[in-house]
Structure 1
Amino acid sequence: MFIEELSPIFKELVHHPVSFLGGLVSGALRLNLADDPVKTWLDQHLSSCSTTSTPGVQNGKASGPQQISID
């Protein structure tokens, strides 16, 4: 039973070891992710790992509010 509760942790460790260990170290050192050195590194890392698709646009239509006119 105890192993079943820890299995999601082990799955994340196996699939994303660098991210998992980075989160573990930042939590142990109580680093604030909004502080400048950590924030700039995260921004650079996330921009290099981003996908080519534009978020919020599906099938050529934006997912945000749209303006309509009623006659």
Structure 2
Amino acid sequence: MVGVAAMEMNEVWKTFLSNPVPFCGGFLSGLLRLDVKQDPLRSWLESQGLRVEEPPPSGRSNGPQSISIE
């Protein structure tokens, strides 16, 4: 079990060292519980050239649905 945890931490460090600014930004936005669909994070992502997708219309969802059987 210790080997698996060490491998996972190794991957985290590899990601951090290869892209420190995006990694820290994502980590900080997660800590602050920022929503990517709201400003200021959304406008910053769009200025960086990233597209934030809109949620599907609320009329029908792809999730579980209730049915009645007679």
User: TM-score, structure 2 length as denominator?
Assistant: 0.61
Give the deviation of 1:29 after TM superposition.
0.4
Structure 1 stretches of at least 4 aligned residues deviating more than 4 Å after TM superposition = none
Task: Give the total of aligned pairs.
Answer: 47
Structure number with higher strand proportion? 1
User: Unaligned stretches of 5+ in structure 2?
Assistant: 51-70
Cα distance in 2 for residues equivalent to 1:7 and 1:44:
32
Q: Which residue of 2 aligns with 1:12?
A: 15
Match of 1:24 among 14, 20, 27: 27
What value does the CA root-mean-square deviation take over the aligned residues?
1.2
| Residues 25-68 of structure 1: CA deviation (Å, up to 9, x unaligned) | 00000000110211010011126xxxxxxxxxxxxxxxxxxxxx
Cα distance in 2 for residues equivalent to 1:39 and 1:7:
30
SS of the residue aligned with 1:35? coil
Identity over aligned residues, as a percent? 34
For residues 1-71 of structure 1, the aligned pairs below 5 Å read 1=3, 2-46=5-49
Give the deviation of 1:21 after TM superposition.
0.3
